[in-house]
Structure 1
């Protein structure tokens, strides 16, 4: 209001509207500033920076991350279900033993020609691999899976197989591809010269042997497979398995050429022989598994191999140790036959699952998750996709893995090496550790600024830290802190502690203690400057505000 001369009235006890509005604006500005300070808006940036930096560094260590959050999840993994072939082993198969019947011949010269011919047909035609020999001087080029390559190389080098001549002399009538349920593959061929039709089978020794009623001797005579002979042959298989050899059997059957065959007959077979393939463990695997055990991560091997072979490889790798007699080695069909409650009861103690199907691996992952484990799974085949999807982190193989497996996974192991899985775990723990460091740093700053401004606003009506100053701290200084903490690299000490559980709080008790102590120290110093700084240092209000900001 104004008087008759147009001058404002400043009566005692009255204020102008402009002054009231200005005070309200200041109060609103202070309130908004306090709210901005209370929210750690730098946290999403810090998390993204940490994950992106780790993802880039992990590629250099042969781990290609397809899903960003998988970096952090790897740090919480408590159980790893891993394949054997190619992951724990070198995937470089080589035939080291050869048996015909119950005899172990020194070479092809010690076997009848008819047996050698049948073995060449079984190895060279019942296969998904191929042999290409450009000339008589150069060694043959062999393609196919590691098992097929090893068998073809053995047939060429030890049996003297001529792959081109063999294909010209026979016609393939029917093929039955390898089946993970039956663990064998078959082919029906017709000899172009004689017109004879023969069915050849190749696969897991104990499964092929179960369908045999005769066996071939080294002299080429077919003998009846009695109970004693069967026990002797089973002993040969077991001895190979105990020696960590994969045992493959060859069998055949003469087929009536006048009868129409819609499928290959697998009953009443005649056993030709066994071969034992050795796939050595990777030299670094034992140390990697020891590191996992020390870090509280359980490693479980899931394989399609014979239980004795699986046990031998597990001992060689360190998955089974004499220090843990409670560890269980089980076959897939046994685990499958159990009720879900029984599976839950033993799942923690399972170290090796042999003769497993893809659905057994999926069931194992599901039971482990029900027990509260954070589960990582390695896989390379199309049928591993369900387990890779179900796991908290799916790790596919970059060399031997199929496209379906890679699409179903979160991380691709570019060198198919289990040691890289351990490296990914170490980086995962580093990511989680870096996020915790930043949260502790950010919350300490926010709590200190919040308390200082709130207490000062209540007691003096003024905030020592202005809006611009707090925005500077939040947007600039916190971003620099996030960059520094996000790019911290992993240390060996990260693998000396147990994994962070699925239900563990993000802010631990130690973090709360550090946060409270450091925030209390900052608040005490800054409030002392706020209330006594002008008197002690002889500064004006602006100088004291600058001093508080610089100290903060």
Structure 2
């Protein structure tokens, strides 16, 4: 009684700076961000609108926004169906969070869960990737998680995604580069050995090529820093092949070019290089040295192509990767030393400036060829799935034709 209202004070727990940008980056990367909280659904909806999980009031309706009580009353099939659409879950219990994780995993999703409380431990343990908070998180939550975020900032999740994709992309770059070298070297030596009984690339030369491919190539390509382009890709599925259709396209075109040019040099090198006036032995040595030199330079130029398997501009960001530039420089210097100064060890002879120019031109053509190759569209379906579908279609068509034949024979029989 006899009280006078002076003020109504509302206390707000604001979003951290940068959370909205982090949510937007996740969404652009194909990662759907969901909020599961014990707060009132109206409070959760307001926070979700503020940080970008919900785009507008029109999105803030069921089933995008749901209460934990409603969610847990669904049957398992219904829960799986509704889990795809949920963006915000309010008034949820720890068990609701666990049910949501299980429903999403049954739908084939890769699920990451963040949490800091003891009640979050079941969901953190059940998720594919559990991320606990290093400052506010309890010991139980940390023990149940796979990754501990030391600064308790959601923006750090974006860094995890960014670096994870960078490591995966760098492995793919190295595999594309490695397979191109292997395929080209194998075909050149096998075809030459079967046709003439001699190989243009001897054991020592192949050892040097493998050193470029395995050691220096891995250092150059596996240390590429993450780029913004990685965050605009769709996530890679659990069962997606490591070698994509784009990699197959780049690999086959580069290998076919190298094999074609070097085999032409192997069989017609003396006449094309004007070595008819030389002694037969010296002409063969010059030809084989040029093939070896051109093959190594092709790999050096192709190393630039491997940096950007799906981008035409292969020089983007190259100035920031000093290790890549240094390795390319070291490889070039060592190649010059091998050809010009240690020919007795590698069975090579010195080349004149015209022959060096020919080798450089052969390698350089790989750049415009790679740019043209990237304009060729590739199917989205992985090759093994495409061939499986084709085989299934043929099997079905042959089965149906057999059934039609059997039916026609059955009709022709007398009663």
Q: TM above 0.5, one fold?
A: yes
1:320 aligns with 2:320: no
Q: 3-state SS of the aligned residue for 1:430?
A: helix
- Whether the 8 Å contact between 1:320 and 1:327 is mirrored in structure 2 is no
TM-score of the two chains, using structure 1 as the length reference = 0.49
1:285 corresponds, among 10, 15, 19, to 19
Distance 2:119 2:190 in 1: 60
Distance 2:230 2:270 in 1: 48
Deviations 1:358-416, CA, capped at 9 Å, x for gaps: 22212211111111211111111233222222222211111111223223222221111
Which has the larger share of helix?
2
- Whether the 8 Å contact between 2:130 and 2:144 is mirrored in structure 1 is yes
After superposing the two structures, state which structure 1 stretch, 423-432 or 533-542, moved more: 533-542
Distance 1:282 1:375 in 2: 23
Distance 1:428 1:319 in 2: 23
Q: 3-state SS of the aligned residue for 1:515?
A: helix
1:341 aligns with 2:84: no
- Whether the 8 Å contact between 2:178 and 2:213 is mirrored in structure 1 is no
1:294 corresponds, among 18, 28, 43, to 28
Q: 3-state SS of the aligned residue for 2:96?
A: helix
In the other structure, the counterpart of 2:261 is: 525
Specify whether residues 417 and 512 from structure 1 end up closer, same or farther in structure 2 by C-alpha distance, changes over 3 A only. same
In the other structure, the counterpart of 2:236 is: 500
Distance 2:102 2:201 in 1: 53
Distance 2:143 2:205 in 1: 48
Distance 1:400 1:522 in 2: 58
Specify whether residues 373 and 104 from structure 1 end up closer, same or farther in structure 2 by C-alpha distance, changes over 3 A only. farther
Distance 1:283 1:365 in 2: 27
- Whether the 8 Å contact between 1:291 and 1:495 is mirrored in structure 2 is yes
1:385 corresponds, among 92, 103, 121, to 121
In the other structure, the counterpart of 1:459 is: 195
Distance 1:408 1:523 in 2: 53
Per the TM alignment, residue 276 of structure 1 is displaced from its structure 2 partner at its CA by: 5.7
Trace 1:374-523 onto structure 2 (pairs within 5 A). 374-523=110-259
Specify whether residues 405 and 475 from structure 1 end up closer, same or farther in structure 2 by C-alpha distance, changes over 3 A only. farther
TM-score of the two chains, using structure 2 as the length reference = 0.64
Specify whether residues 440 and 477 from structure 1 end up closer, same or farther in structure 2 by C-alpha distance, changes over 3 A only. closer
Per the TM alignment, residue 277 of structure 1 is displaced from its structure 2 partner at its CA by: 4.1
- Whether the 8 Å contact between 1:303 and 1:356 is mirrored in structure 2 is yes
- Whether the 8 Å contact between 1:307 and 1:331 is mirrored in structure 2 is yes
Q: How many residues align?
A: 285
In the other structure, the counterpart of 1:236 is: none
In the other structure, the counterpart of 1:540 is: 283
Deviations 1:172-198, CA, capped at 9 Å, x for gaps: xxxxxxxxxxxxxxxxxxxxxxxxxxx
Per the TM alignment, residue 327 of structure 1 is displaced from its structure 2 partner at its CA by: 5.1
Distance 1:362 1:475 in 2: 50
Per the TM alignment, residue 105 of structure 1 is displaced from its structure 2 partner at its CA by: 4.9
- Whether the 8 Å contact between 2:63 and 2:82 is mirrored in structure 1 is no
Structure 1: gaps spanning 5 or more residues: 1-100, 108-239, 241-274
- Whether the 8 Å contact between 1:377 and 1:394 is mirrored in structure 2 is yes
In the other structure, the counterpart of 2:293 is: 550
Per the TM alignment, residue 345 of structure 1 is displaced from its structure 2 partner at its CA by: 0.9
User: Larger relative contact order (C-alpha < 8 A, sep ≥ 6)?
Assistant: 1
Trace 1:78-157 onto structure 2 (pairs within 5 A). 105-106=5-6
Distance 1:530 1:405 in 2: 65
Distance 1:529 1:104 in 2: 99
Per the TM alignment, residue 521 of structure 1 is displaced from its structure 2 partner at its CA by: 0.6
In the other structure, the counterpart of 1:311 is: 45
In the other structure, the counterpart of 2:279 is: none
What's the C-alpha RMSD, in Å, of the aligned pairs?
2.3
Which structure would you say has the larger Rg? Answer: 1
- Whether the 8 Å contact between 2:37 and 2:90 is mirrored in structure 1 is yes
Distance 2:22 2:89 in 1: 20
